[in-house]
Chains A and B, each alone.
Chain A
Amino acid sequence: MWNSATQFRWRLAVGPLVFVAALFLYPLARLLVLAFDDGGGFAEVLSNPRIRSSLWFTLWQATASTILTVMAALPLTWVISRFRFRGRDLVRALVTVPFVLPTVVVGVAFAASGMSGSVGGILAAHVFYNLAVVVRTVGGVWSRLDPALDQAARTLGASPIRAFRTTTLPLLAPAVAAASAIVFLFSFTSFGVVLIVGGLRHRTLEVEIYQQAITFLDLPAAGALAVLQLIGVVAVMTVYSRYQERRAVRFRMVAETDALIPVRTGRERVLVTTIVVATLAALLAPLWALVRRSFEGGLGGWRFLGDPGRIAIDPMAAMSSSLRIAAATTVIAVVVGGMASVVIAAGSDRLSRGFDVLIMLPLGTSAVTIGLGFLVSLGSLRTSFWMIPLAHALVAIPFVVRASTPTLRSIRSELREAAAVLGAPPSRVWREIDLPIVARAMAVGAGFAAAVSLGEFGATSFIARPETLTLPTMIFRLLGRPGAVTYSAAMASAVILMVTTAALILAVDRLRSNEVGSF
């Protein structure tokens, strides 16, 4: 049945659809053509031992990274979800910082920690980077789980551990699965970290694609690899969404303040302190190493940023173009992502699910694929300023959607119906009910979009031209040059990038923690 609300939804769907079709599906189609054009492209690629070792490495390191991340995150997630203690909000915010740090910064930080070229460094960097995904995804549910459920199990005779296993864990399982799926996909398509820490000895598919395209100029091979990677991503997402559908138990969430208990016994205090301090120390160590290295040999690296001398890299210009690109990206991502989340949240039908996958695709597909797609399909358009923000928006939109869809979903359909009965046409219902409730979530999404853009490296490394270098691409260039001063300058730029994104994210987090939890 087509009522006017459904029509409105379909009309709204057109914008994001055109956006994704033009900037993602079309380039992807060109990639496919390229990959199959050659005839034996796939067979050739798969029989190449170098590529086979990259494939194998991609799979096993993603699996290992996921398991390690979940294990490393669970203690802190428990502490944050169950206890009220001073500085809890700060801890939660600090844990989020690594996740939003540009991959280039993470890579440079682990390189500065003396882990260059080692598999351990790559895994550690992935845990470092993804910890927040688990803490926030699982903690978001756990901290708002009605403690009465656990208590009910206890009064029915379950021991604390049994109550956890039979009541809490099953309710958390979907969140753990969601977090694992995200961590796996991020590690599977990891680029910047592996490129910088792996030093070309350990290559993920992403790095392999980059090298095939940029170093060996073998676009068909790069295209074939991108297609292979896409198949893997789609497989993971399909399995994951099937699982979520099957597991979707709706349950009442309580306000966080009602679920948390104060730290009471001495044993609890020791446990909480140990877990918090250990986790934070592990997260801060590489960042500290980065700052220290930027000052190695005095202020030379920092001075270089203002006065690079006779080198074809202009740090100031890179910073200003990074800022302009971030502003443009934010506007595009909020508009398109906002439209998409309305379409997704308004139902649980095919349109909603299909759209969800479609919007997530660019993020899962990986930045490198997006960059390669732009490279092979957009011809002379590629030189336009707008290409970089558009590419960044493809990656940023999922963040906007993820930030606003749950809030939109939480609006009871009754509220919209009440507004309609009171005379509000569908577009007005959206403006009066959905928009105000979701505005704060949108602001959060906008903050993430800006952070994504400032740190984006994979796609940009394919499309940025020397005169439009962004901060991350400039850092990579600096790393590739000989000399202690340029190395320190790379570190210093990474510090600037780190501080900027961290400040942005902490501001966003303040918005989030003020959120009203009652609807």
Chain B
Amino acid sequence: MGLAVHGLVKRFGAKTALAGVDLEVNDGEVLAVLGPSGCGKSTMLRVIAGLESPDAGTVQWGGVDITSLPTHERGFGLMFQGYALFPHRTVGENVGFGLKMQGVERHEVEVRVADALSWVGLDGFARRHIEGLSGGEQQRVALARTLAPEPRLVMLDEPLGALDRRLRDRLVDEVAELLRARNATALYVTHDHDEADTVSDRVALMRSGVIAQVGTLAELRSAPADDWVADFVR
């Protein structure tokens, strides 16, 4: 049993971002969350990460309620849309941050940082500064930083959203491969069908704060729950 989310509601003033989200992610499964912008995908990730507290509903991990557990105790990973790399730290210090928080010994941190950097094809980047990196390199550092502490749940918020088309096509396979190789349990938020299809085992379609349907993209196409789903996955 991996992640289970029940009846999640989140309002910001008069605006309802999440209107009762139910979702399950099995152990070792990569679930893509697909939906138009503004449908509440990012808010859902933030609630699951504990960065926002829900107005109603529960978040469970392995059958244990963690709805009120502070963010830093959840052991989840979240890759931010804008990467949120620490500008005052080197690439290596960014990637090693989570390990340091776990109290991993310094020497081992170095080894594991080097490993994580090689997963994303940035060998030898540890001493570089964040400032000088290209967009694609920043994306890879952010990915390595998220994966390095081996979080029990990996959440990626439009991880390729800020890159241009060509780079995106190249990187999406790499990310898919990386997640599978690590047997990661993952939530992958995107608004791009192809990306969702390439990366995930199943797709959850999200529309104005609720999950409309869950299944493989082929299933959604052959048996859409309603007209909106049929239209969106066409």
- CB pair A421 B97 closer than 8 Å: no
- CB pair A433 B51 closer than 8 Å: no
Neighbouring B residues of A420 by C-beta, 8 Å: 50-51, 70-72
- CB pair A419 B97 closer than 8 Å: yes
Binding site for A on B (CB under 8 A): 49-51, 53, 70-78, 80, 82, 84-89, 97-98, 101-102, 131, 145, 149
Contact with B along A491-519 (1 / 0, CB 8 A): 00000000000000000000000001011
Q: Quick check: is A417 within 8 A (CB to CB) of the other chain?
A: yes
State A418–B50 Cα separation when bound (angstroms).
11
Given known A-B contacts A418-B78, A418-B80, A518-B131, A425 and B88 have beta carbons under 8 A apart: no
Q: Quick check: is A267 within 8 A (CB to CB) of the other chain?
A: no
Binding site for B on A (CB under 8 A): 1, 3-4, 412, 414-415, 417-426, 428, 432-433, 436-437, 516, 518-519
Cβ of B99 to closest chain A Cβ, rounded Å? 9
18 pairs, CB–CB < 8 Å, chain A vs chain B: A1-B53, A415-B87, A417-B71, A417-B80, A418-B80, A419-B101, A420-B50, A420-B70, A420-B72, A422-B149, A423-B102, A423-B149, A425-B70, A433-B86, A436-B89, A437-B87, A518-B87, A518-B131
Count A/B pairs, Cβ under 8 Å.
Answer: 75
* Most A Cβ at <10 Å: residue of B85, B101, B145: B101
State A419–B85 Cα separation when bound (angstroms).
10
State A3–B69 Cα separation when bound (angstroms).
10
State A361–B168 Cα separation when bound (angstroms).
54
Cβ of B106 to closest chain A Cβ, rounded Å? 15
State A193–B214 Cα separation when bound (angstroms).
75
- CB pair A519 B102 closer than 8 Å: no
9 closest A-B pairs by beta carbon, nearest first, are A423-B101, A422-B98, A414-B84, A418-B84, A420-B71, A519-B87, A421-B78, A4-B70, A420-B72
Neighbouring B residues of A414 by C-beta, 8 Å: 80, 82, 84
A417-B84, A419-B97, A518-B87 known; 8 new pairs, CB 8 Å cut-off, are: A418-B78, A419-B101, A421-B51, A421-B72, A421-B78, A422-B145, A423-B101, A424-B97
Neighbouring A residues of B74 by C-beta, 8 Å: 421
- CB pair B75 A423 closer than 8 Å: yes
Neighbouring A residues of B97 by C-beta, 8 Å: 419, 422, 424, 432
- CB pair B82 A422 closer than 8 Å: no
State A415–B130 Cα separation when bound (angstroms).
13
State A495–B85 Cα separation when bound (angstroms).
48
Neighbouring B residues of A418 by C-beta, 8 Å: 78, 80, 84-86, 145
What is the interface of chain B mostly: helix, strand, loop, or mixed? loop
- CB pair B53 A423 closer than 8 Å: no
- CB pair B101 A415 closer than 8 Å: no
Of B72, B131, B145, which contacts A424 at CB under 8 A? B72
State A418–B138 Cα separation when bound (angstroms).
14
Neighbouring B residues of A426 by C-beta, 8 Å: 72
State A64–B98 Cα separation when bound (angstroms).
57
Cβ of A137 to closest chain B Cβ, rounded Å? 25
Cβ of B19 to closest chain A Cβ, rounded Å? 19
State A519–B86 Cα separation when bound (angstroms).
10
* Most B Cβ at <10 Å: residue of A3, A422, A428: A422
Cβ of B145 to closest chain A Cβ, rounded Å? 7
Q: Which residue of B lies closest to A438 (CB)?
A: B88
* Most B Cβ at <10 Å: residue of A412, A421, A432, A516: A421
- CB pair A422 B84 closer than 8 Å: no
- CB pair B86 A421 closer than 8 Å: no
Neighbouring B residues of A518 by C-beta, 8 Å: 87, 131
Cβ of B162 to closest chain A Cβ, rounded Å? 13
Given known A-B contacts A3-B70, A4-B70, A414-B80, A421 and B87 have beta carbons under 8 A apart: no
State A447–B98 Cα separation when bound (angstroms).
35
Cβ of B157 to closest chain A Cβ, rounded Å? 11
- CB pair B76 A421 closer than 8 Å: yes
- CB pair B101 A428 closer than 8 Å: yes
State A68–B102 Cα separation when bound (angstroms).
58
State A412–B72 Cα separation when bound (angstroms).
18
Neighbouring A residues of B80 by C-beta, 8 Å: 414, 417-418
Neighbouring B residues of A428 by C-beta, 8 Å: 72, 101
Neighbouring B residues of A421 by C-beta, 8 Å: 49, 51, 71-72, 74, 76-78
Neighbouring A residues of B70 by C-beta, 8 Å: 3-4, 420, 425
Neighbouring B residues of A424 by C-beta, 8 Å: 72, 97, 101
State A3–B102 Cα separation when bound (angstroms).
21
- CB pair A415 B86 closer than 8 Å: yes
Neighbouring A residues of B131 by C-beta, 8 Å: 518
- CB pair B84 A423 closer than 8 Å: no
State A432–B93 Cα separation when bound (angstroms).
11
Of B51, B87, B88, B101, which contacts A422 at CB under 8 A? B101
* Most A Cβ at <10 Å: residue of B71, B74, B76, B87: B71
State A424–B102 Cα separation when bound (angstroms).
9
State A421–B49 Cα separation when bound (angstroms).
7
State A425–B89 Cα separation when bound (angstroms).
19
State A417–B76 Cα separation when bound (angstroms).
12
* Most B Cβ at <10 Å: residue of A419, A423, A437: A423
State A419–B49 Cα separation when bound (angstroms).
12
- CB pair B88 A436 closer than 8 Å: yes
Neighbouring A residues of B72 by C-beta, 8 Å: 420-426, 428
Of A412, A425, A437, which contacts B84 at CB under 8 A? A412
Cβ of A486 to closest chain B Cβ, rounded Å? 53
